[in-house]
Amino acid sequence: MNRLLLTAAISIPALGAAGAASALASTPVSAGHHARSVLTITVTDSSGKSKAYRLTCDRDGGNHPNATAACDALRSVNGQISKLSRPDAICTREYSPTKVSVKGTWRGANVSFSGSYPNSCLARAAVGAVYPERPR
């Protein structure tokens, strides 16, 4: 009788764990689910001073000042930063070189982008909401 109770005590939790594992394995991933995106955006101004921002998407966050707008923009071009250009931007001709680089992963794919621009306005025009500035 003791041997039967010991076998039952070991078997029941094992069945529960197997059932849970089976349930997890058979749970479909929703069609809209994507691997988390993590990007580091670095802006370097004309004095050579750099500031880096972390942006996470598909749970928008990080220390980017406008993470939701940046992630929405990236989602609209499937993470292809070079497609974010705003040719209609109106900028001055001041010369204050600005560099923008973006490195990380977008939904599981490696991302590496860098651009040099005559000023910060043209940098913003090139990368849209990915350029880290406070919302207006």
- The whole-number pLDDT of residue 136 equals 55
Residues contacting 26, CB < 8 A, separation 6+: none
* Cross-strand partners of 102: 41, 113
Q: Per-residue confidence at 22, pLDDT binned at 50, 70, 90?
A: very low
pLDDT tens column, 28-48: 334 456 678 999 999 999 999
Complete DSSP assignment for 27-91: SPPPTT----EEEEEEEE-TTS-EEEEEEEETTTEES-TTHHHHHHHHHHTTT-GGGG--TT---
3-class DSSP state for residue 136?
coil
- The whole-number pLDDT of residue 11 equals 40
Longest dimension (CA), the chain: 90
Q: Per-residue confidence at 85, pLDDT binned at 50, 70, 90?
A: confident
Contact 124, 73 (CB under 8 A): no
pTM over 0.85: no
